[in-house]
Each structure stands twice: as structure tokens, then as C-alpha cells.
Chain A
Amino acid sequence: MTRFQELIAANQASGRARRRAVNGVMLSLTGLATLLALVPLFWIIGYVIYKGGQYINLAFFTQLPRPLGMEGGGVLNSIQGTLVIVILSALFAIPPGVLAAFYAAQHPNTPVGIGLRFATDVVSGVPSIVIGLFAYAVIVKPMGHYSALAGGVATAILMLPTVVRTTEEMLKLVPHSLREGSLALGAAEWKTSLSVLFPAALNGIVTGFLLSISRAAGETAPLLFTALGNDRYDVGLIVKGGVAQHQSIFQIIQRVVDQPADSLPLTLWKYAQQPYPERIQQSWAVALVLMILILLINILSRLWVTSRMRRLRG
């Protein structure tokens, strides 16, 4: 028997049990680590449901807040404000972000491309409260009042780096051969980008949108000096009133965005620091609503992405 064969024999005799044992230990360790990582997640979700669930009822979604001491009331203003601010920030951040990403993906080594990448890195590192201050200085001050619009701009700046970077990465993942295939048919660059690269990368791009939208919906700090908060914000009433006064759609939109608005995280923050038990309870309920809202956005768009994938794979 050669030395190697001896080793193999020895390994067969003793190694097997040891290998199994080590395997078992390592597997348990990874399982334990996974559990540890999951604990905070489920703890948060469970605790918020436990604390907030009991105060949630239909009125909570459909009514404006009532003054302290009155029973009932809801956070309709915050829900609508969150949606308005999220829509505004998506409008402000996604189109320029996507176009910039196209540029960066196609011209990565030009001065503008390098500058763009550097700028997005810097902006994504800026604390969100600083961005809020910035929006205060350039939007709120000149306009003379707080508004949902200013809140939308502030959160849009927060979203922008995520949108640009994820879109750029997803575009880079599209095989070069697809681009060549389109160009070889005589398509122009912009046409190739629009009708081949963008659809091919869309699933990943949408996931990037989601991440950034979820972040925007959960931000408090940039809204402190911009959207401010508004207990009487009710889009339904604004629209109804506008229609009754025969206002144009632009006037109505202006009234929706050009006044202070509340948002769920902002309300949570305000309620949670008040010394009244019912406000504290409501702030838990607000936390739950915020979580449900973000979860809904995520689930819906993931469903869309999956069905689109299935369609594409055939």
C-alpha cells in the first residue's frame, strides 16, 4: 500500500463519522445564525402588530385625526399625504434618474459618466436631514410656505442615487449581444436603449424603484422642514371642492401639492413624543399602517415582475 492509499483507508475508517459530525455542527451554526437574523425582523413585525393592531379599525383609514380627548378619528391625512409625497418624489426622481443611468451605462468612462457616479455616491451618503434642510432653503423659503411639493422634492433627492445606481447596474447586466443585435438591424442608439435594453432590464430596474420608493415612504427627517404636517389634509375633499367650483385639473393638482401635508412617519414621530396614552397608541397603529403600505407596494410590484418574467420566459 502506498502512503496515499493508507491515508485513504484511514480516512474511510475514521473520517466518515468525524466528517458527519463537523457537517452537522456547521449546519446547525448556519441555521442558528439565520434564526438570529430573522428574530429582529419577526420581532418588529410581531410587536408592531401586537401593539398597533388593536387600535386599527376602519375609521382609522377613513377619518381625519380628532382633537385630544375625543374618541376615534384616524390618519387619513397621513395616508394620503404619504401617497402624494411618494408619487411626487417618484415623478421627480425616476425619469431623470433612469435617463442619467442610461448615459452612465453607455458612457462609463467619460468625464460626465465618472462625475455622475461620484455624485450619486456622495448624495447617497448625505444624511437625510441635510437634504431636508436643502429643500427648505431652495423650495420652502422662496415659496414662502411648507408644501407637499417641497416634501416630494426632498424625498426625490433621496431616491435619486438608488434609482440611478440600480438602473445603471441592471442595464450593464443586459448582454452586449442584445445591443449589437439591435444596432446591426440599423437601429439608432436611443431606439436600442428604449426598445431593447430597457425592457430587458426592466425587472431589475423596477426592483430598484421599489427599494427607493419604500425608503422615500419611510423617511421622516427630510419632511420635517418641507411637508411639515397637516391635520386637515384630505385629498378627497380638495378634489370635491375643486370640482364643485369648476376648477381645472391643474388648479386641483396645485391645491393638492401646494399645501403642507402629513405623512405616516411624520405623524408617528409627532404622536410618539406626546405625553398622552391615546396618541402613543395611535402612533403604534400608524407604524402598522406604514408597514402594511410598504409591504403592499412591494408585494404588488413583485407580483407584476414575476408575471412579466413568466411571460418573457414563455
Chain B
Amino acid sequence: MPPKMDANTIVETDEADKRELGWNNRVIKTAVRTVDRTEVARTVEKKIEVRDLSAYYGAFRALAEIQLDAYSNKITAIIGPSGCGKSTLLRSLNHMNDLTPNARVEGRILLDGEDINAPNVDVVEVRRRIGMVFQRPNPFPKSIYDNVAYGPRLYGLRRASDLNGLVEQALRRAALWDEVHDKLHQSGLSLSGGQQQRLCIARALAVEPEVILMDEPASALDPISTLRIEDLMHDLAKEYTIIIVTHNMQQAARVSDFTAMMMIDDHRAGRLIEFDETEVMFTNPKDKRTEDYVTGRFG
């Protein structure tokens, strides 16, 4: 995938650096974050563009004409009342909806400009590039090590030395390494709920995705674990593009750079009614329904 970027902006310089410097770009990244947000937003590249997306379950239209952009190295939150299609939208982005019987998707989803719904697209490759973290921690009934190594092994990585490095790196990125490095061969199920969820994040990171989808990743966790996951998301946004579905308005306000508000229309199809920077969405939304929702008047 050729990196496409204009030469002059801070962020894109950083993008280029990222490939060379790896972990050392933290400092630069942090600097970028402090730059005026709107300024940055206008200059970052679009990682995912959703165009006229409709999703159907049989004859029922669950999503109608969704337009959504997710920017590189930004956290995009999708909020809205229950049953408005947030999860369906998220699951459409990495072909997880294909697993539901009778489900079908229309419209385009561009990942770096390429339509992932095109007929000749390799679903496996899409799922590798767009990882997913689920609502409830779902570690496999295997050891911590094998959980993280599961993905890389799928792609043929077998040598222990390679795997060890990858597992450590993924666990470090998921802020779990310090807690588990001396018990990698214990079962993943022996961890606490919050640790399990970070293990699942590490598992997703191990296949080196570009985008991470999170479907209410903290809704099954206690407040402390939730905070850790949110901190982690901030760190991860330096490397990845993150899209999160959340019911928790404060969470959306705390972690995200952009927010998309969804509602169901008269035909019970989910529509995206407003999309903007999170600050704008929570302080000065254009749509009355968004305002009502974020201020807790309904939903």
C-alpha cells in the first residue's frame, strides 16, 4: 500500500517518520496532539471512507445511506440510542456482518481508497488490516502466549524467535506485558476482565492491523479497567486508526477526536445524522436530536 500524503503538514511528516522510527516517534506524536485540533483535522488523511452504505437483514434495511470518514491516527466514536445500527455499521467495516445469515451490504467502504466490498477483495486480508475488539472479552481457551500468537500463526509465522518478539511487542502495546510477562503460559481465562480485554486488544494488534474497531470495549468492565482501556486507546491512536462504538457519552467525549451520531428513521433504518469533531458535537451540535442525546434528554 503506497503511503499517500502531501508533503507539508506536520502530521504527514510524522506518518513518514513512523515507518522509520517505530517507537521513537512518541515524542513527535505528542507534539502533534497539542497542535490545535481543528488545524490537524483538516490535514490528516482519510483512512476509511464509507459511502452510501446500506445494510440489510433479509428484507429489513438496518442501515441507510451512511456517509462516514475515519481519519488516520484519530479516534472516531459512533454514538446513538440502542438499536440504531451502530454495531451493524462497525461490523460492516471488516466483513463481520457476512457471518450473519441473510445479511447483505450495499455501497462502498474505502480503505486507503480501495473498496473493501468489491467482489475480488480478499476478506481475510481486510480482516487482518482492520482488527476488531468485542464488547465482552473473548480470549480463546488457550495460554496468554497462544492467544496473542494465534493471529501471526494464521499467517504462517512459526519460528519461536519471531513469535516471541511479536507477542511481547503486542502485549507491550496493549499495556499488559508488565502484568503477564512471567505467566505467559497460563490460560488467558485466568486473567481479570480488564486484563482479558487488553489481551484481546493485544491479540488484535499482533497481526499488525491499520484500523482497530472497538464495539463497546469497556461496557463489561469496572470503572478502573475502563479507564485503563481508554488510556490505552489514546496511546494506540498514535499508531492506529480507531473506531469505537459506545453507549457511554462521557467515554465518547473523553476518548474520541470525532463523533458520529446515529438515529433510526421512520422506517427503523439507522441513519447517520451528524458527524463532526467531538468538541463540536458535545458543545455546539447542529442537529437538535444530537443535542438532546448528548445532554441526556433521551436515549
Contact = CB atoms under 8 A, between A and B. Distances in A.
22 contacts: A177-B135, A177-B136, A180-B134, A181-B134, A181-B203, A183-B99, A184-B94, A184-B134, A185-B131, A186-B123, A186-B125, A186-B127, A186-B128, A186-B151, A187-B150, A188-B124, A199-B141, A200-B140, A312-B141, A314-B186, A314-B188, A314-B191
Contacts of B138: 175, 177-178, 180-181
Given A184-B134, A185-B154, A196-B141, 4 more contacts: A180-B132, A199-B142, A200-B140, A313-B190
Given A178-B140, A180-B99, A200-B141, A186 B154 contact: yes
A18 interface: no
A311 interface: yes
Interface of A is mostly: helix
Interface in A182-211: 182-188, 191, 195-196, 199-200
Given A178-B138, A196-B140, A199-B141, A184 B131 contact: yes
B101 to A, nearest CB: 8
B255 interface: no
B124 A186 contact: yes
A184 B154 contact: no
A181 B140 contact: yes
A191 B189 contact: no
B190 A185 contact: no
A312 to B, nearest CB: 5
10 A-B pairs with least C-beta separation = A314-B190, A314-B187, A177-B138, A184-B132, A186-B127, A186-B124, A185-B151, A181-B138, A186-B128, A314-B186
Contact of B189 (A185, A186, A312): A312
B204 interface: yes
A182 B136 contact: no
Contacts of B186: 314
Contact of B96 (A184, A187, A196, A314): A184
Interface string A62-80: 0000000000000000000
A314 B141 CA distance: 10
B68 to A, nearest CB: 20
A184 B150 CA distance: 12
A191 B127 CA distance: 15
